[in-house]
Amino acid sequence: MTRLFRGAFIVWVVLRYGLDELLLSSFRQPWLRMAARVVSVGRRLDAPRGVRLRQALERLGPIFVKFGQVLSTRRDLLPIDIADELARLQDRVPPFDSEIAIRSIERAFRKPLGEIFASFEREPVASASIAQVHFAVLIDKHGKQRDVAVKVLRPGMLPAIEKDLSLMRTMASWVGGLSSDGRRLKPREVVAEFDKYLHDELDLVREAACAAQLRRNMAGLDLVLIPEMYWDYCSPEVIVMERMRGIPISQVDRLRAAGVDIPKLARDGVTLFFTQVFRDGFFHADMHPGNIQVSVEPETFGRYISLDFGIVGTLTEFDKEYLAQNFTAFFRRDYKRVAELHIESGWVPAGTRVDELEAAVRTVCEPYFDRPLKEISLGMVLMRLFQTSRRFHVEIQPQLVLLQKTLLNIEGLGRDLDPELDLWDSARPFLEKWMIEQVGPQKLLEQLKEEAPRYAKLLPGLPRLLDAYLRQQPADLRREVRELLTEQKRTNRLLQGLIYGGIGFALGLLVMQVIVRVQLF
């Protein structure tokens, strides 16, 4: 019954704000436009279409606001008036009462507001779908005052999210059971991933921990600033963090007037994204413009400022390596390798013909190379790839849904900052360097160091275990085992020679590169 009522409410909101008319009027066919005029009879739809869409998403709740935030970054896919209005969802969702926020703070820290803060701005500086932020001056345990931002969770979020997730689970079951693509699309698994991310976002302590991890990961990169968390003042409903000062990344004219190198900023954004994804496997997955600023302070001028870490993505070593090889093959236009990787990973059936998949991928991707960002749309590329994946029965990977969403955010940001940016050319050097590091001698030494403690524990006991095993076997079997061990020793010596020779060859290449670079400079 709950799902039924929620579904009825969604239909009522769609009709109340005229979203049906908005959808029908977007088509070019005359009969659909006529249908739009018919369904709008008797309803007052005076507000602009972008305003109606934004208000409807706000009325429907946090999941729909998240959807609007993602759409707002895709100005290449939306009319300007709708994109501008949806951008208000990034940090200008109607705030909740400040008195409720103050009660949440006092309940979380069991102190009156005046004992925690020297001053507290009751008017929120930002308000989004999950929480709102107030500026304040914290009195720390040493009596020192610090400028901080206080993030407070919206009340009643869990029940609202659970209603929508329950409806999404039902719809996923219908798609999985009725659609011929149900097994390939994995709708239940995708909703389960979405469920996990949303529930994680409701725990602000987890967000603070993710911010701390990203801050450590990015410490030596000098490209991004991440606020410090004050752990004495972090709870599941309220977190207190360092106040960051910068210009929102969407205000390009202000950034340009301040002297920020916009093309460099766009390139740095690509480097930052690929570093988080492929080097660390831990990335900020909610990178819409409302969560990103640019520092104009003298000591950190031109660096990104990341905010709001409620949604982060993680990748396994297998996913990182597979994706990096795919990207590298794409950048080299090695479509055969792309096809082979899809088959090797099990993403397509084992019997798929490599040449057919290679030709299909080439047809989708080849038209978009060597063109600036303003002339391509990654969204359209992904759409065509999705159509191709249906033909070849490519299975959706739920663990990569966040990465795909973030990649679209990054492209949208890059398009706003520098339409001339060549996304492929900016990313290629990083990925090629990363791939060399993954297969080079340094990586081999790192893996040996990691495994050394385990081998150190196993090796002393091996002779005893082998002796006990040999004593339990017949004489002829013991003789065969000894012969195998002798042969294994010869093989080990051969392998050692090959490994040492390979390391020597790699080191020789490195030395030659250094000599060439010295001569060039």
Tell me the DSSP string of 35-82. HHHHHTTTS---S-HHHHHHHHHHHH-HHHHHHHHHHHT-TTTS-HHH
- Per-residue pLDDT band for 19 (boundaries 50, 70, 90) equals confident
Stretch 439-466: mean pLDDT, rounded?
67
Tally of CB atoms within 10 A around 159: 8
Domain layout of the chain by residue ranges: 2-89, 158-198, 245-439, 448-520
Residue 149 has a pLDDT of: 96
Which residues participate in catalysis according to the annotation? 286
d(CA 18, CA 73): 23
Residue 458 has a pLDDT of: 66
Determine phi and psi for 347, rounding to 5 degrees.
-75, -25
What DSSP letter does each residue of 441-472 carry, written as one string? HHHHHHHHHHHHHHHHHHGGGHHHHHHHHHHT
Q: Which of 14-28, 115-129, 176-190, 472-486 has the highest mean pLDDT?
A: 115-129
Give the end-to-end CA distance of the chain in Å, rounded to a whole number. 74
Stretch 310-329: mean pLDDT, rounded?
79
Is the confidence at residue 438, as pLDDT, over 60?
Answer: yes
**Amino acid identity, residue 366?**
E
The DSSP letter of residue 277 is: I
Is the confidence at residue 514, as pLDDT, over 50?
Answer: no
Is the confidence at residue 498, as pLDDT, over 70?
Answer: no
